[in-house]
Structure 1
């Protein structure tokens, strides 16, 4: 009499988990982001494909994994119960893939950093050079935009690391302060006003400015301080382009307000002048935030740690004041 097949054999599994990993990746992304649109951006896919994958997965499981709401989707009771197991499964699969490729101990993949142009100029070149030397298989992708754009990219998981300006004494809970930045009145070469080391805020009254248009963090802070100081601050020209602001200050003898690092090269070359604003000072924080895991976790950690180190070195050169203690920095990867 033949022996009946064991129910513990692989052929007894109803769901072909290994063949459906791409569907489970979609499940994980939708569950974490609560939106098919955001999950599609995260996975570099499209919403209709994710919808088909999700429908197929629910048919195979014989139950609803998500509940549709007016704001998107949320995990069903079954979805919430299996979510941690699916996350662990995909992490194991990723580790297995690295082991097979022999990359378990060598950082690889691509890390996407979103930042403002004035921060990117002094930071990105050095970051690329140092990461290229330390981890040649790790790639960087840089996106520059306004504060609002960078925050949107972070929320949509299009970037792994965001570098932002923040005004005020406190930061959102998920952000880390990297540096405190003073604001300077920037003028052309030979300008008598910006030849001083420091200037009170009242010195800005009725100057011919080129400033970014609202909404903009710096413009909002400047306008608020001008109202409090009872001075007139009406720009002769509005331009959001940092290179254009610096060019027109030098050529048309306008003024603008920028952090020192944004004009570092021009000051070294003598094309522009800068006087620090005091009474009251106008300061902002440079902060860093990490997105929900998108890129390779160890690579993101390594890039973030290197950014902290570079910002600390720049503080020692005089670009800004470091917000990081010497001890307690993330270890070098």
Structure 2
């Protein structure tokens, strides 16, 4: 059986003859006869009694008509439900976001999702970048904000690029607006564990340029690292997004690292199994919009990707 044959069968029964059904369905009468005959051959039983006045159902045809109405109705309901879902997505979407990015974008993302996607339940999982990446690889999230080196964004959507900076306690002696990479060794650092993207990015650049850094504390908690810097117990290397609030209040200071600048790319990754999910696609479309607005409003010190050239 296929839906077309069922539809033709019901059409013939409703019309009472092949001639009328052919006109109603805009199908050649010979094609209708062929499809019904193929159904009868497939079932091994006669479905319709044909005579000069039209058609009547056999006992088997009556049973099939009952099931055909149910099947076609369910197919119609499924099509209607999926069409409506595309227009108004609904369901649950889980997105993993590293703590630094979460501090600047979660509130804006939730507000926009509530406005644009009222039937979508958006669940945010926040953590350090290393675990977020591992959990995404394990399939825990539908979407995830991840960090990559500028040269390897992969197949993910590039959202922005940001520089890593030296984070300085507020009451330390005056600093210039920037510090050379080679001079970082003088400052005891509190940094995330080695699986963290910040730690890997800094280690790679330091190694490439033959420099050293003084990693005094390894802490997998952004709030604890920030507190240690605020209390003057350590320095740190973080993205400005992670401490933008504290910097605006004068609780820490941001010093650019130069010669060279250490950059990373912020990307949005989607779980391969959710590529065709309507609700995931809807949330996926909101994230770049949120990042762009935050950057343009000065709430996220990040460099937006160049727009695609017009074709």
Residue 218 of structure 1, CA deviation: 1.8
Corresponding position of 2:285: 305
Residue 127 of structure 1, CA deviation: 0.6
Q: Distance in 1 between matches of 2:278 and 2:116?
A: 14
Where 1:223 maps in the other structure, the secondary structure is: helix
Residue 142 of structure 1, CA deviation: 0.7
* Aligned pair partner of 1:181 in 152, 162, 171: 162
Matched, 1:232 2:212: yes
Matched, 1:112 2:167: no
Contact 1:206 1:231 in 2 (8 A): no
Residue 213 of structure 1, CA deviation: 1.7
Greater CA deviation, 213-222 or 115-124?
213-222
Q: Distance in 1 between matches of 2:106 and 2:120?
A: 15
Corresponding position of 1:272: 252
CA-based RMSD of the aligned residues comes to 3.3
Taking the TM superposition and a 5 Å limit, the aligned residue runs for 1:6-45 are 6=61, 9=64
- Relative to the length of structure 2, the TM-score reads 0.70
Q: Would you say how many aligned residue pairs link Structure 1 and Structure 2? A: 251
Residue 234 of structure 1, CA deviation: 2.8
Q: Distance in 1 between matches of 2:138 and 2:197?
A: 21
Where 1:162 maps in the other structure, the secondary structure is: strand
Residue 150 of structure 1, CA deviation: 2.8
Where 2:213 maps in the other structure, the secondary structure is: coil
Greater CA deviation, 206-215 or 269-278?
206-215
Q: 1:79-101 CA distances to partner (integer Å, 9 max, x unpaired)?
A: xxxxxxxxxx9xx87544457xx
- Relative to the length of structure 1, the TM-score reads 0.66
Contact 2:275 2:281 in 1 (8 A): no
Q: Distance in 2 between matches of 1:245 and 1:17?
A: 61
Report the CA distance shift for 1:6/1:139 in structure 2 as closer, same or farther (over 3 A): same
Residue 130 of structure 1, CA deviation: 1.5
Corresponding position of 1:263: 243
Residue 10 of structure 1, CA deviation: 6.8
Report the CA distance shift for 1:17/1:188 in structure 2 as closer, same or farther (over 3 A): farther
Report the CA distance shift for 1:7/1:159 in structure 2 as closer, same or farther (over 3 A): farther
Taking the TM superposition and a 5 Å limit, the aligned residue runs for 1:74-113 are 95-97=79-81, 105-113=87-95
Taking the TM superposition and a 5 Å limit, the aligned residue runs for 1:282-293 are 282-293=262-273
Q: Distance in 1 between matches of 2:114 and 2:301?
A: 24
Corresponding position of 1:323: 305
Where 1:5 maps in the other structure, the secondary structure is: helix
* Aligned pair partner of 1:190 in 132, 157, 171: 171
Report the CA distance shift for 1:94/1:140 in structure 2 as closer, same or farther (over 3 A): farther
Corresponding position of 1:53: none
Unaligned runs of 5+ in 2: 1-48, 50-56
Matched, 1:5 2:60: yes
Unaligned runs of 5+ in 1: 19-88, 329-333
Taking the TM superposition and a 5 Å limit, the aligned residue runs for 1:138-287 are 138-173=120-155, 175-192=156-173, 195-287=175-267
Contact 1:187 1:249 in 2 (8 A): yes
Pick the structure with greater CA Rg. 2
Q: Distance in 2 between matches of 1:153 and 1:11?
A: 49
